[in-house]
Amino acid sequence: MTVIEVEDLHKAYGHNRAVDGVSFTVAKGETFGVLGHNGAGKTTTVECLSGLRRPDSGTVRVFDQDPARRRRALAQRLGVQLQEGELPDRLKVAEAMRLFAALYDRPDDWRAVLQRWDLGPIAAKAYGDLSGGQKQRLKLALALVGGPELVVLDELTTGLDPVARRETWTLIGDLKAAGTTVVLVSHYMDEAEELCDRVAVFRKGRIVALGSPRELTGRTGTDSLENAYLALAEEGR
């Protein structure tokens, strides 16, 4: 079953073509990586498929619906953690979980989600007092409290120390094991190689390569996705 279909997507801001003819699909249960440097068009693409931005042209279908027109209905099946998303510093962890759960018709038990993501011991702490790893774990829990079928994670591990990054990888692996479809936006190649079934490599608003990490390393004759990415970037210059 196909969960996401994007065909010839275009989005510009003035003279800047942020997304310039992007096409891809994501299957149910797949962990799909969206890779590229800052400004490559990754975030704009996932904002379009999340219904947060309207494309200039092209087609975006999520669960066979237009997210720009059916955002409210899709929100019940979609969990989103965006790179720039922040919470009020004084909002407590438990309060945030309860608030987000109230946005869904049939949410998971927010207390159980709190425990599942090891947030119980810090439930009474204010957001502003959390460490970087704790904040990211909370953001992931908030994206999941609605029991979504599809989760979009934008630069989830940016700024985390190596231990916190590895802990977050484990959480994403648990999502995959549960059959949740995941779109993972990242510029960390080791992260994508560890977690993703397939990846789309973005450069200047376009996809320059699409396939499994193994396919891309084989195509470029390299020994890692990071080296494959560097080789692909050179091809696109």
Residue 144 to residue 151: CA distance in whole angstroms: 8
Residue of 39, 36, 128, 46 lying closest to 80 (CA atoms): 46
Which bin fits 58, alpha (ψ -120 to 50), beta or left (φ > 0)?
Answer: left
pLDDT at 219: 86
Q: Which domains does the chain have, with CATH numbers?
A: 1-77+153-212 (3.40.50.300), 86-148 (no CATH)
pLDDT at 45: 95
Give the torsion through C-alpha atoms of 71, 73, 77, 79, to 10 deg: 30
Residue 111 to residue 131: CA distance in whole angstroms: 21
Residue with tokens 């790179």: 83
The answer to whether residues 46 and 24 touch, using CB atoms and an 8 Å cutoff, is no
How far does the chain reach from its first CA to its final CA, in angstroms?
35
pLDDT at 30: 96
pLDDT at 235: 66
pLDDT at 97: 96
Question: What are the pLDDT tens digits along the chain (237 aa)?
Answer: 899 999 999 999 988 999 999 999 999 999 999 998 888 899 899 999 999 899 999 999 999 999 988 888 888 899 998 766 689 999 999 999 999 999 998 899 999 999 888 899 999 999 999 987 788 889 889 999 999 999 999 887 777 778 878 888 888 888 888 899 999 998 888 889 899 999 999 999 999 999 999 999 888 888 888 888 888 766 655
Residue 185 to residue 152: CA distance in whole angstroms: 8
Q: Which pair of tokens denotes residue 210? A: 């699409």
